[in-house]
Structure 1
Amino acid sequence: METSMTPAAPAADRISRIRLSSVLLPLTTPISDAKVLTGVQAPMTEVALLFAEMSTAQGHEGIGFSYAKRAGGPGQYAHAREVAPALIGEDPNDIARLWNKLVWAGASVGRSGLATQAIAALDIALWDMKARRAGLPLAKLLGAHRDSVRCYNTSGGFLHAPVEEVLENATASLERGLGGIKIKVGQPDGAADLKRLEAVRTRIGDGVPLMVDANQQWDRPTALRLGRALEEFGLTWIEEPLDAYDAEGHAALAEALDTPVATGEMLAGVAEHVALIDARACDIIQPDAPRIGGVTQFLKLAALADHRKLQLAPHFAMEIHLHLAAAYPHEPWVEHFEWLEPLFHERLEIRDGRMHLSDRPGLGITLTDQARAWTRESCEIGSRG
C-alpha cells in the first residue's frame, strides 16, 4: 500500500489583532542643532512615537515603531489607523506582499513621507514577529555578518550644550565603551565650529573616530571652504553638509574632499536614496528604517548600497538599526542615542567600541509602564480571539 511522503502543509496563521499607540516622549533638555541656530526650526522638546503591537490567531506577537520629531506624530498615528485593518486575517509571514497592500490601502497620499513612516511601524512589527517565531534575533533571521557593530555617540554633542559639557559628554561616552564621537556644527560663525571641534579632538585624542554633522545648513561654497578646513582633524565623516536633496552638490563635495561625506537620514523613501546613489553623492549612506518604510524597504536599499560598496551608518533608532547594520556586508556604524531607553525594559550592551547583539529573539524589546503612561492615544484593530 502506497503512502504519500509529502508532509501536510501547515495551517497558515492569521493576524488577529493590532494595537496602535501614539506616545509622546519628553526630552529632559530642549535640543538644538544648526537648524535652530539658523532659525529654520525651534528647539526640540519631545519625540512622538507610533507603536504597533501585533498578535496572531496562533498566539505569536510582534512589536514595531516609527517616530517623528517636532511634527508628524499624530499624522502617522492617523494614517496607520486607517490602513492597519488591511492586515487583519492576513498571513503574517507574507511581509513583502503585505507592505504593498498597506501602500495601496493609502495610495492617494503617496509612497513616501508620512505614509510610509506609518507603514514602517507595522512592517517592523511583522519582522519582529517573524524573528521571534523562529527564536532568533532579527539580525540572525536576516543573515548576520557580525555579532556586534561599531557605535558612536551623537546625543552628547548638540549645539545647545556649551563646549565644556560636550567635552564631559565625550569622555563619559568613551568610558561607557562607545567607539566614536559625533558633534554638531553649522553655526553661523564657522570659526566657532572649528574652535569647538579642536577642543573635542584635543580631549579625545587623534585615535578616536570623530564625526561632524551640519544638519543641511551649509551652502555649497561654505561646505567646500569649511570642509577643507576640517581636513586636518582626520574626521571619519562630514554629515549632511548640504540640503538633503542636493545630490549634485553632495557629489561635487565628495569628489573635492578627502574626508568622506555622509547623508541620507532625512530622505523618506528608497527612490529618494537612489538619486543619491546614482549621483555618487556620498561615501556613507545613512538611511532610517522608520522613515523609509521599515525593514522591508531598508533591505532593498541595503542591497543597492552594497552593490556600490557604500559604507552604512543608519540614523537614530539603534534598537532597530543594530540588527540591520549587523546584516550589512561591509563594516557599518550604529548611532547611539539614549533618548528612547525609558520606553524599553531592555538595554543594549556596549563595550570595546561596539554595540553587541543579544540572544533575545526579534528586536529584543518590550515596552515599559512609562511608555504606557506617555501614551496619548491608542486603538485596537481586530480581536483577541
Structure 2
Amino acid sequence: MSLYDNSPALNRRSLLRASGIATAGVSVAQILDRPIGDQIAHLTQNVRRASSPSELKITDMRIAVVAGVPFTSPIVRIDTNQGISGYGEVRDDADKRYALMLKSRILGENPCNVEKIFKIIKQFGGHGRQGGGVSGVEMALWDLTGKAFEVPVYQLLGGKYRDKVRLYTDTAGSETPDEYAAQMKKKIDEFGYTFVKMDVGIELIRKIPGTLTGAGPWGDLGQYDLDPPSDSYGSTEHPFTGIEITDKGMDEIAKFPAAMREAIGWDIPLGIDHIGHFGVNSAVRLARRLEEYSLAYLEDLQPWFHHKEFKQITSSSSTPIMTGEDIYGVDGFRPLLDGRTCDYVHPDIATAGGILETKRIGDLAQEHNIPMFIHYAGSPIGAMAAAHVAAATENFMALEQHSSEVDFWEDLVTGLPKPLVDKGYYQVSDAPGLGLELVDDVVKEHLAEGEKYFATTKEWDDWKISHDRQWS
C-alpha cells in the first residue's frame, strides 16, 4: 500500500507501519498507546535538526554597536534555552534602543513563531530609522529558525529563484565629474560590479554662480547631519525649501552622468541618488534633462509620502523614478503601488520590517508589475538577510552594496564563501539560517566608541510597563 493511498485503511497505525517505525525497537502498539506528541517525536527522530524547535524559548537579547561599516550598525543577538543564537541588524545610524525596548515583549517566546512575534512588536516600529528595532529583531528570529531546522532562510520563504544576487555599488563621491567617474571605474574593475549608483547632489553645484535660485538662506546645503535642526535644509521637505534649479544648473549636474558614461560605457546601468531638496517642477525638468544618459533611475526626488508629486514626476519623463528606503511595512507601499506613483520600489530590509515584510513588499509590487530593488548600507548580517530575500523574490532587480571602501567589512563574519562580493554578486549560502557567525575579535576591534561587546541588557528585561493593545 502506498503512503499516498486515499483509502480509509490508511489510518495512523498503517502510516506508522509504512514509515518503518516498528523497526526502531518499539512496536506499533506501544507507540499508539503514547501521547500524540511522543508519536510525532518518535516518527521524526531521524529528521536532521539543530535543536528541538517546539521547545525553543528566547532567554536573552543583546546588542553590539559596530562603527564604520560604513556607518554605525547595532547588531542584535537573540539567545535561546538550547544554546543557539540568531543575528539581526538595526538600520544604519539608528539608535540601538529601538531594539532594546522590544526585549521584554519577546522573552519566553518561541523564536520560530516569527509572524506571531512580529505582530506583537510591529506597532513599535515606524518609518525611517524608527523601523530599525523591529526589523533587526525580525531578522534574528529568522536566523534562529533556520538554524533550529537546519535550513537556509530563503527556503523558509518558499525557496529561491536565483543562486546569486546582483549588487549595485555606491561609492565615495567627488566634486569633479571626471574624478568621480574614475573612482567608480576603479571599483568596477576591482569588484566586477555590473550595476552602479552615484550621489549627485545640488550641493556640488552650489558654488557655481547661476545654477540655483532660492538657495541663499540654506548655506552649503548640508543634509547629512545625524540630527539636523528642524529649521535646517536637511529637515525641510523638498517643496518648502524654495530652491529651484536653473538651466545652467541642469547642465552642471548633467556633467556627472556624462563623465560616468564616458568612463564605464553604456552596458552598465547607472542610478542617481541624493540629488537634493528642491521643488517638483525642477524635479520634472531634471528627469527630462538627464534622459539622454538612459539612467536606471532617479531616487527620492521628493519625500516618499508626497504621492501626487511622485506621480507628476513619473508621468512627465521617461527616466525611471524610484523610492522606498524609508518606508516601514507593506502598508506604507500600498499607496505608491496602487497609484503607480513610481517605476521601482526600494525598501531597506532594516527599515521595512525585516525579512518577511520585505518579501511581502516585493510580492505586492509584482502584482502591480513593478520591480523591486533593495537598499542596504550596513554590516554583512543585514546584507545576507537582504540577499536571502532577494533570492526568494521573483521581481528582484539589484541589492545595494555600500561597503566596498571598508577593508574589514567581510572579516566581521565567518561561514560564508569569500570574497563576499564575487564579480558583482553575493552567493546565496545554503547553510542554516543566514549562514554566518560573527568573528568576535574583529567585531570587538570595531565597536563604536563607548560600546561593549554584547553587554548584559538585564535592565530591559522588565521594561514593559504599558498596556500595548491598540484596540478595546
Q: TM-score range by the shorter chain?
A: 0.7 to 0.9
8 Å CA contact retained: 1:151, 1:353: yes
Q: Distance in 1 between matches of 2:150 and 2:175?
A: 43
Q: Count residues with an aligned counterpart.
A: 354
TM-score by length of 1: 0.82
Which residue of 368, 376, 380 maps to 1:316? 376
Report SS of the residue matched to 2:90: strand
Aligned to 1:52: 76
TM-score when normalising by structure 2: 0.68
Structure having greater relative contact order (Cα 8 Å, sep ≥ 6): 1
Q: Report the Cα offset of residue 303 of structure 1.
A: 2.4
Question: Quick one: distance in 2 between partners of 1:199 and 1:63?
Answer: 41
Q: How far 1:18 moved relative to its partner? A: 2.6
Matched, 1:85 2:104: yes
- The corresponding residue for 1:379 is 456
Counterpart of 1:301 in structure 2 is 361
Question: Which residue identity is paired with 2:375?
Answer: H
TM-aligned CA deviation for residue 290 of structure 1: 0.8
Instruction: Describe the shift of the 1:268–1:337 C-alpha distance in structure 2 as closer, same or farther (beyond 3 A).
Output: same
Q: CA deviation at 1:286?
A: 0.4
Other-structure match for 2:13: none
Q: Check if 1:282 corresponds to 2:342.
A: yes
For residues 122 and 129 of structure 1, what CA distance do their matches in structure 2 show?
A: 11
Which string of whole-angstrom CA distances, capped at 9 and with x for unpartnered residues, describes residues 19-42 of structure 1?
422414137xxxxxxxxxxxxxxx
DSSP 3-state at the match of 2:336 = helix
Q: Which moved more, 1:181-190 or 1:165-174?
A: 165-174
Unaligned runs of 5+ in 1: 28-45
What corresponds to 2:91 in structure 1?
A: 67
2:305 matches 1:263: no
Tell me how far 1:230 sits from its aligned partner: 1.0
Equivalent residue number for residue 186 of structure 1: 201
**Counterpart pick for 2:413 among 329, 344, 350:** 344
What's 1:30 paired with? none
Cα distance 1:341–1:218, how it changes in 2: closer, same or farther (>3 A)? farther
Aligned-partner SS, 2:72 = strand
Shift of 1:135: 2.6
SS at 1:67 equivalent:
coil
CA shift digits 1:326-367 (9 cap, x unpaired): 111124211112245454345554345433213333223332
- The question of 1:213 aligning with 2:259 is answered no
The C-alpha deviation readout for 1:8-66, integer Å capped at 9, x for no partner, is 35562233433422414137xxxxxxxxxxxxxxxxxx722222112222222211111
Distance in 2, Cα, partners of 1:170 & 1:135: 41
CA drift at 1:309 = 1.9
- 1:120 is aligned to 135
One-letter amino acid of the structure 2 residue matched with residue 135 of structure 1:
E
Change (3 A) 1:174 1:140: farther
1:200 aligns with 2:200: no
Range with bigger deviation, 184-193 or 290-299: 184-193
How far did 1:179 drift?
0.8
Q: 2:65 aligns with which of 23, 27, 30?
A: 23
Contact 1:267 1:287 in 2 (8 A): yes
Q: How far did 1:210 drift?
A: 1.3
Q: Percent identity?
A: 24
Answer yes or no: is the 8 Å Cα contact 1:349–1:357 preserved in 2. Answer: no
Q: Which amino acid aligns with 1:81?
A: L
In the alignment, what sits opposite 2:222? none
Q: Is the CA contact 2:302–2:309 (under 8 Å) kept in the aligned structure 1? A: yes
SS at match of 2:67: strand
Report the counterpart of residue 289 of structure 2 in structure 1: 229
For 1:268 and 1:291, the matched residues in 2 are separated by: 6
Does the CA contact (< 8 Å) of 2:192 and 2:423 recur in 1?
yes
Q: Deviations over 1:282-331 (max 9, x none)?
A: 11110011112212322332221121121111101433211111111124
**Structure 1 residue 216 displacement after superposition:** 5.1
- Separation (CA, whole Å) in 2 of partners of 1:344 and 1:163: 35
Return the alpha-carbon distance in structure 2 between the equivalents of residues 91 and 219 of structure 1: 49
Indicate the SS of the match to 2:71. Answer: strand
User: 2:265 and 2:306 mapped to 1: Cα distance?
Assistant: 33
Moved more, 91-100 or 373-382: 373-382
Q: 1:177 aligns with which of 192, 198, 220?
A: 192
1:234 Cα deviation (Å)?
1.4
How do 1:98-177 residues align onto structure 2 when only pairs under 5 Å count? 98-103=117-122, 106=124, 111-142=126-157, 143-156=159-172, 158-159=173-174, 163-177=178-192
CA distance in 2, matches of 1:18, 1:308: 41
Task: Identify if the C-alpha distance between structure 1 residues 327 and 160 changes in structure 2 by more than 3 Å, giving closer, same or farther.
Answer: farther
Out of 320, 326, 329, the position equivalent to 2:391 is 326
Does the aligned pair in 2 maintain the 1:211–1:237 contact within 8 Å?
A: yes
Greater C-alpha radius of gyration: 2
Corresponding letter in the other structure for 2:188: S
